[in-house]
Structure 1
Amino acid sequence: MTADKITDLLVARLVRDYGRSKHHWRKVIGRVRLYSRDTHPHCNWSITPTGSAQEISIIETLMDDLRMRHPLLSS
């Protein structure tokens, strides 16, 4: 799994479950940061969403689910 694919998965679920546009959710999600597997062996990615408190909460909940299924990403 790559950072772009994780973003695509998040955006697809957000649009399906909460509406709004793909552009809106991509902007709120922001960039996926990848870390070295040497220093982050259990989960090597993070996202720092912006937006309303409700949007951030929704995204963080989805991120927790995706981290369980896709803890390590490739560049």
Structure 2
Amino acid sequence: MTREMMNDLMVARLLRDHGRSKHHWRKVIGPIRLYARDTHPHCNWTLTPTGDMRDVALIENLLDDLRMAHPLLTA
């Protein structure tokens, strides 16, 4: 899975489960940072959501599930 696909997946799930708009969730999610697989063999991506506490908590909970299903991303 690519970083763009992951971003689209997160936006779709947040939109479906919590409403608002695609623009809102893309802004709150922010960029996905990738790390080298040789230094991060179990999960090579991260992001730092911004926004209010509710939005950040929703994204962090979603990230827990998505990291288990998609631990490695490609550029």
Give structure 1 regions of 4+ aligned residues with deviation exceeding 2 angstroms: none
Unpaired runs of 5+ residues, structure 1, are: none
TM-score (normalised: structure 1): 0.98
Is 1:44 paired with 2:31?
A: no
Unpaired runs of 5+ residues, structure 2, are: none
Q: Aligned ranges for residues 48-63 of structure 1 at < 5 Å?
A: 48-63=48-63
User: Percentage identity across aligned positions?
Assistant: 67
* Equivalent residue pairs, number: 75
Query: Structure 2 CA distance, aligned partners of 1:64 and 1:8?
Result: 16
Query: Structure 1 CA distance, aligned partners of 2:70 and 2:63?
Result: 10
Tell me the CA shift for residue 25 of structure 1.
0.2
CA RMSD of aligned residues (A): 0.4
